[in-house]
Amino acid sequence: MTTARLDATFAALADPTRRAILARLARGAATVTELVAPFKLSQPAISKHLKVLEKAGLITRGRDAQKRPCRIEPAPLAEANEWLEKYRALWEANFERLDDLLDELKAEKRPKKR
């Protein structure tokens, strides 16, 4: 994955409306009209969000007669997840060391039995 593609993915995911659109598309393809329904936004506003998602490669728009259904594209999300997994392993190791230290500190504070 290129840095530019990763940047575009995270920039697109930074907006809660776009994340909600992706959550809806994870259930299946939808038209712009269907995507507008749950939001208090105009069709042009949703279309702008869709353009950002499409530019980031997170969705594609097809042609089905008069409709242009939007579909989620899993590859950019998988690549972002792969990038995040590297950091998850780092943080989990740090948390394990912190847990060990806290266990040691708790053991030192316990009153000693005679």
pLDDT, the chain, mean: 91
Residue 60 has pLDDT above 90, yes or no: yes
Residue 66 has pLDDT above 90, yes or no: no
Beta bridge partners of residue 67, listed in sequence order = 64
Residue 113 has pLDDT above 70, yes or no: no
> Rounded CA gap, 84 and 54, in Å?
22
**69, 30 Cβ separation under 8 angstroms:** yes
Residue 47 has pLDDT above 80, yes or no: yes
Q: Per residue in 37-47, is it b (16+ CB within 10 Å) or e — as a string?
A: eeeeeeeeebe
Confidence tier at 111 by pLDDT (50, 70, 90): confident
- Give pTM, 2 decimals: 0.77
CATH class for domain 3-109?
mainly alpha
Return the closest-CA partner of residue 71 out of 37, 21, 28, 113: 28
For the chain, domain boundaries: 3-109
